[in-house]
Amino acid sequence: MSTKKVEVINREISWLSFNERVLQEACDPTVPLIERIKFLGIFSNNRDEFFQVRVATIKRMAKIGKKAQEIIGENPSKVLKEIQEIVIKQQKLFESTYKNLLKEFEKQNIFIINESQLSKKQGEFVKNYFHQVVRPTLVPIMLDDSLAFPYLKEKATHLLVKLNSHKKSIKAKHAVLEVPSSALSRFVVLPSEQNKHYIIILDDVIRYCLNDIFLIFDFKSIEAHTIKLTRDAELDIDNDINKSLIEKITKSLKKRKTGAPVRLVYDGEMAPDLLNLLTTKLKLNENDNLIPGGRYHNFKDFMNFPDIGLAELRYQAMPCFAHPDFAKKHKNMFEVIRKKDVLLTYPYQSFGHVIDLLREAAIDPDVLAIKISLYRVAKNSNIINTLVNAQKNGKSVTVILELQARFDEEANIYWANKLQDEGVKVIFGVPGLKIHAKLFLITRKNGSKTEEYAHIGTGNFNENTSGIYSDHSLLTADKRITMEVIKLFNFFTNNFKTNTYRHLIVSPFSMRKRFIQLINNEIKNANAGKKAFIHIKLNNITDAVLIEKLYEASKAGVKIKMMIRGVCSLIPGIKKFSQNIEVISIVDRFLEHSRIFAFCNEGEELYFLSSADWMVRSMDHRVEVACPIYDKQIQKEIKDFMNIQFKGNIKSRVINGERNNSYRKIDSDKPVRAQYELYEYFRNKLQN
């Protein structure tokens, strides 16, 4: 099947449209005030990673020249230009949103002030805080024509300082210093006065005390402007067969820290001569992404905006519920799963059940072995602790650890060493493939026989993200599934031995092919005049082959409903082409992360949960798993879950070719905020 003429939206442009939906949350007056400023932080953090990865990749392609256009089907230089135009437009909205939020905070007697607004008493507090806490962490570096420009740390805010001399004949001096937000909070809460709360940003604490830092110099005036550099974060891993994978990745991580600049954000008030000095020293040109910004950069720190005790300015707590099958603490979890499959849905239900199952396995005398695949885990991981505990209790523990989980490489190297030190068998994946499947397998004695219990999920084994990511975990003892999970773990340890799978859909072996078969079945039924539908929930869809197949299904009359949180290269709603495809995107307090598929199949509906998005990397370059759901009760639960989300008319946006992110309007008297409706759904399941 040719994919050259498939009508699609550029992946990067679609991603920017997704991040605009995040920015919409910061603009939404119905969102609590502190949550709105946190969404600015999320938007900023997302954009940083976008430049580190996607923009860096396109810049690499642009250097190749015409050949790049043949490879990706687009002119990379043209894409870069369009990206910059959108980013600058979004930056203006970002800045205006921040200014509006400051006014809203003031209405709540919360004042985010700068160094020029400090009272005498506040100034004394700031001076004292600076000398006791901040000053010891600062390393000012004077700039000199004879010296190379100092290294600017990735993901850090720096101040470019200019010291103007009393005499015009003497050139101004310049310095750079890093704002130490990795060691200190970016926010300094000042003493309250008359029920008014005051916050100053760390950058301004430093600005207030610049004279103290550069006291030895004779200067007429001093100014400081924020700058932030984003670097290419791609890992170039060498092929030295004499080095271990950990050694290779460690070396590549060191290179990442000095990767090529892909974006410079600077204070828009910076004088042209100062900007010229900066771009010259950094060897940046007009083709690089130079983004004029406001007074502050690195808004990702606003994700940790301080709690000043006003609960009404935050989301109300939504504690997760126990799963009804595990609600009675005395129940043996293995007995429950042996009798029936269990579906856990986060963050509505507790991820603690997964940890409890592994804890139970660690001390159960009948458990023989635990095998698990890890991609991203929590900073202080309870999952890791349970595996170490199991090893100490004499179980055979094998961990398939993906070292190349982007931006978690260093953490995963740390966990690999810790696990190996405890005697756990650690395997670093499959050469040439990333293991993204979310699996574990517990082998347990039952009389004279052994039985297996499997976990297949859509999200990571991470108790921190499980509280804010919407995901699913299937726990099963169904031999149709567990026997094929055994095959997968055998493949991880013996890469030369591939297997065929009747029940699981596994990439890179058969996933695209199998989903095409399922879509073709709906096309066949639609052509025969039978009811045909496909319901899909994904983070991203960019795979041209699968997109083309969905277009074909739409033309045949198959009704297709999709929820795509992030990138959607598919263009829905085009007459006589994709008019039977409806796409929505939900951006709300929880991050939609699960992947779900439902096919009509002549009334015998088929349901799947998956770790995979519909992207080339997921189909061809990763080990991913889609698992069929055989339990009728769980099928109904997934159907209910999807229906509630499709009914959403508060936080749902319409995805279309214009990328206008308009809020979805449904002819209904009842407003439906899907995530809140789901919360009540799972509350009722527990109570009933």
In the predicted model, what is the mean pLDDT of residues 155-175? 87
* Three-state secondary-structure class, residue 408: coil
The amino acid occupying position 120 is K
Q: Which residues are catalytic?
A: 436
pLDDT greater at residue 149 or residue 199: 199
In the predicted model, what is the mean pLDDT of residues 532-557? 98
pLDDT at 388: 97
Does pLDDT of 256 surpass 60?
A: no
Residue pair 558/584 in contact (Cβ under 8 Å)? The answer is no
Closest by Cα among 266, 293, 292, 47 to 159: 266
pLDDT at 75: 86
Q: What is the DSSP letter of 55?
A: I
Closest by Cα among 200, 203, 201 to 226: 203
Instruction: Give 87's contacts (C-beta < 8 A, 6+ positions apart).
Output: 16, 47, 289, 291
In sequence order, the β-bridge partners of residue 162 are 174, 223
pLDDT at 331: 76
In the predicted model, what is the mean pLDDT of residues 456-470? 96
pLDDT at 579: 96
Give the integer Cα–Cα distance in Å for 613 and 621: 12
* pLDDT tens per residue across span 264-290: 888 888 888 888 888 888 888 665 668
Does pLDDT of 125 surpass 90?
A: yes
In the predicted model, what is the mean pLDDT of residues 469-495? 96
Does pLDDT of 255 surpass 70?
A: no
Q: What is the secondary structure of 492-550 as a DSSP string?
A: HH-TT-----SSSEEETTTHHHHHHHHHHHHHHHHHTT---EEEEEES-B--HHHHHHH
Residue pair 156/231 in contact (Cβ under 8 Å)? The answer is no
Does pLDDT of 90 surpass 80?
A: yes
Q: Which residue is listed with tokens 């103290």?
A: 212
Instruction: Extract the tokens encoding 116.
Output: 């020029």
* Of the candidate ranges 46-60, 317-331, 400-414, 513-527, the one whose mean pLDDT is the lowest: 400-414
Does pLDDT of 4 surpass 90?
A: no
Does pLDDT of 386 surpass 90?
A: yes
656 Cα distance to chain centroid: 23
Give the integer Cα–Cα distance in Å for 451 and 439: 16
Does pLDDT of 155 surpass 90?
A: no
Instruction: Give 102's contacts (C-beta < 8 A, 6+ positions apart).
Output: 112
In sequence order, the β-bridge partners of residue 332 are none
pLDDT at 412: 80
Q: Percent of the chain scored above 70 by pLDDT? A: 93
Integer angstrom CA distances of residue 569 from 51, 68, 534, 548: 19, 20, 18, 11
Q: Which residue is listed with tokens 């052994």?
A: 450
pTM check: above 0.85? yes
Highest-confidence range of 1-10, 164-173, 677-686, by mean pLDDT? Answer: 677-686
Q: How confident is the model at residue 478 (pLDDT cuts 50, 70, 90)?
A: very high
Cβ-based neighbour number of residue 267 at 10 Å: 22
Does pLDDT of 236 surpass 60?
A: no
Burial class (CB in 10 A: 0-12, 13-18, 19+), 48: buried
* Three-state secondary-structure class, residue 608: strand
Q: Percent of the chain scored above 90 by pLDDT? A: 71
Cβ-based neighbour number of residue 353 at 10 Å: 21
In the predicted model, what is the mean pLDDT of residues 596-617? 98
Give the integer Cα–Cα distance in Å for 446 and 566: 45
In the predicted model, what is the mean pLDDT of residues 669-674? 89
Q: Which helix (H) or strand (E) holds 445?
A: strand 438-446
For all residues of the chain together, what is the average pLDDT?
91
* pLDDT tens per residue across span 337-372: 999 999 999 999 999 999 999 999 999 999 999 999
pLDDT at 463: 95
Instruction: Extract the tokens encoding 235.
Output: 């890992």
Q: Is 423 left (phi over 0), alpha (psi -120 to 50) or beta?
A: left
Closest by Cα among 560, 561, 544, 543 to 652: 561
Give the integer Cα–Cα distance in Å for 616 and 546: 10
* pLDDT tens per residue across span 562-601: 999 999 999 999 998 999 999 999 999 999 999 999 999 9
Instruction: Give 276's contacts (C-beta < 8 A, 6+ positions apart).
Output: none
Q: Which domains does the chain have, with CATH numbers?
A: 109-306 (3.30.1840.10), 324-493 (3.30.870.10), 505-687 (3.30.870.10)
Give the integer Cα–Cα distance in Å for 483 and 361: 19
pLDDT at 657: 92
Residue pair 655/583 in contact (Cβ under 8 Å)? The answer is yes
